[in-house]
Amino acid sequence: MARTASVPRTVLTALLGVVTVALLSAGCGSGDTPAQAAPAELNQADLAVLPDLNTFGKIDNAPLDPAPTAPSTGKVLKVTKELPTYDKPGGKPFGKLPTLQVGSPTWVPVIAEQGEWAQVLLPSRPNGLAGWIHTPGATESAPNPYTVKINLADYSLDILRDGKSQGTHKVGIGKPEFPTPKGRHYLMASIEETKNTYSKYVLPLSAHSDSHETFGGGPGTVALHTWPTNEHIGKSDSDGCIRVTPETLTKLMELPLGTVVYVA
């Protein structure tokens, strides 16, 4: 059910609202250093003290996405070893990307590049975090022609390939008191649901609820998933997750991890 060519494979995962997957149970520029300069090698002790950049993390004073509405670069990176993430090329590390996100390989979308440095979106709180990674020897790259656009006002989700619509789908969104967060997010990880029956698969985003600091003991991760019936499609009655039909979920499951999802 997933692509295995030049783009990374996705299968699915995650949570918010009523989502309580067992694992989660329960959102540019260069500095004075030349852009091509490699960072000083961090020893294991220094790397160990950096916080993990995952859906459970909250990183204070980290850079934010400088252009949340900018077009996707069409490139994703797989993290092949624990990777320090910097506030600017050659700058200060503020966290580290692990090789797995909730059991799935870590793929992140590239939003800018300078030499051997790539600026990527990150999955921790607050929403819209971004950072720079030095790519040689620590990542694999792949083209990704897909993006997803979600329009909250008309309850629509559009899957695009090379900027051309592959079909528009109706969705359900968060209640007014628990709104689905806007911004430039991405498909973060994938897990087959084993505890709940509302959705066989769940797609978590890099986004978190701005209303739920936690939910059901988890980090309030926003996700794409189905519901036992389709009566919630076209309505605002979730706790922030995006509810889709089984047919829409099948199409979303074909998209690579790291696919950029714009919510407006």
Residues marked active site are found at 225, 241
Q: Are 153 and 138 in contact (CB under 8 A)?
A: no
CB 85 within 8 A of CB 116: no
Q: Judge whether 24 and 14 are in contact, CB under 8 Å.
A: yes
**Spatial contact of 174 and 150, defined as CB atoms under 8 Å apart:** no
129-132: long-range pairs with CB below 8 Å, 24+: 129/53, 129/59, 129/62, 129/63, 129/64, 129/65, 130/63, 130/64, 130/65, 130/66, 131/53, 131/62, 131/63, 131/85, 131/86, 131/87, 131/94, 131/95, 132/85, 132/86, 132/87, 132/88, 132/89, 132/91
- CA 51/CA 30 separation, integer angstroms: 23
CA distance 184 to 130: 11
